[in-house]
Structure formats: structure tokens, C-alpha cells
Chains A and B, each alone.
Chain A
Amino acid sequence: SQQGEEDPQALSIQEGENATMNCSYKTSINNLQWYRQNSGRGLVHLILIRSNEREKHSGRLRVTLDTSKKSSSLLITASRAADTASYFCATDARGAQKLVFGQGTRLTINP
């Protein structure tokens, strides 16, 4: 397995429900970021959480980080059809500037 693995690979829920996606990584990090990618499009930055932070909120998004378990979760509350997309976590290892991405979670919101 590789740095920044998302779980589940695919998630399908009804509009209005909450969606939770998880990410695990292997090495020590400076920060962890979540991105969204609509089909055939570029990546949109959602939220960045630093290694010394445990939880962060942005609108309907809530991100947690547990450095002892090397894992993070992204919660989207009150999901909307427009939230349908792939979601990626990305980490930057200490001492490196490059981002390491997971395979992503494909989220489908059913109306």
C-alpha cells in the first residue's frame, strides 16, 4: 500500500446524509490536505490540516487528524448532489515539498 490511502474506494449515499471518508499514511508529515476532483476536471483544494492540529472545520466539511494512528477523516455533512466527485487526501512528508496522493474515494450523492 502507498502513502495516503483512502477508504472506502467508492461511496454512494442519499442526498442529505453525511459522508465520511478516511485516509491513512505511513511517514511523518508536515500537513495533510484534502482535494476534490470532479470527473475530467482539475483538483480543488478543500482544506489543509497541520500536523499539530486535531480537527478543522470549513462550512459543511470537518477534517480530523490522528498522527498517532497516521490517519485522517473527511466528513461532509448534509450532502448535496453537487458533492458528487472524487476526494483525495495528500500528504507532504517532512523535508519534502512534493505531495503524495492516495487513490481517492469516489463519492456519489443520489438525489
Chain B
Amino acid sequence: NAGVMQNPRHLVRRRGQEARLRCSPMKGHSHVYWYRQLPEEGLKFMVYLQKENIIDESGMPKERFSAEFPKEGPSILRIQQVVRGDSAAYFCASSPSSGGGETQYFGPGTRLLVL
């Protein structure tokens, strides 16, 4: 059973470009979470999605950021018109259900560098 997969592992963008980060959850998991980690800090929650639904986007910046988890295919975190402050590691996690006490399994992350 493959773990959570993320691609690309590293992404370099110039200011103003778009960044697309992909996440394939573990087999059998229908709940996906995105987190952002700045250097030397802990992870900060961004958004929680189920198939075709955004459940909680309370950690998502209001502008330029969007996320989706379509019926088919991976979850996508999209950052439009990137700025240097968007440089960070973005981690995706998945869980089989949303019941309290579920372990979230993390992918290896995408490290975004904005020049």
C-alpha cells in the first residue's frame, strides 16, 4: 500500500507565476489535508477536503490560494501569482475517515521556492 504521494518534490517559480502542487492520498483514504511549513517552524493547517468538497478552509489565505479534490485524480493546491513569502514546504496528509482520533499520514512534501 503506497503512502501519500506528492509531486513535484521541489518547485521553483518566479514571482507572479502559478504553482500547482499535487497530492495522491493513500489507497482507501478519502480525506485530504494540506499544511504549510515555514523554515524552523511547525506545520500550519491550510485546508481539509473530501472528494469534491472543501470541508474546512479556515487556514487558507483568502486570495491567490485554492484547493480541490476532484472525484478522479489527485488533490491540487494552486497558488496564483506567487510571491517570495509563499516559499515554504507544503505537506499533504490523508486519513480514511474524519472520526475523532484518526491518524493523518503525511506525504514527503513539496518544497516551493519563489525567486
Contact = CB atoms under 8 A, between A and B. Distances in A.
Interface stretch (B12-20, B42-50, B79-87): B42-50
A98 B59 contact: yes
B106 interface: yes
B43 A97 contact: no
A7 B104 CA distance: 23
B45 A98 contact: yes
Interface string B75-115: 00000000000000001010100101111111111010000
A43 interface: yes
**Leading 5 A-B pairs by shortest Cβ distance:** A30-B100, A101-B42, A98-B45, A42-B108, A43-B106
Nearest to A99: B104
30 contacts: A4-B42, A30-B101, A31-B100, A31-B101, A40-B111, A41-B108, A41-B109, A42-B107, A43-B106, A44-B106, A45-B104, A45-B105, A50-B101, A92-B100, A96-B56, A97-B31, A97-B48, A97-B95, A97-B98, A98-B33, A98-B48, A98-B56, A98-B58, A99-B45, A100-B45, A101-B35, A101-B44, A102-B42, A103-B41, A103-B42
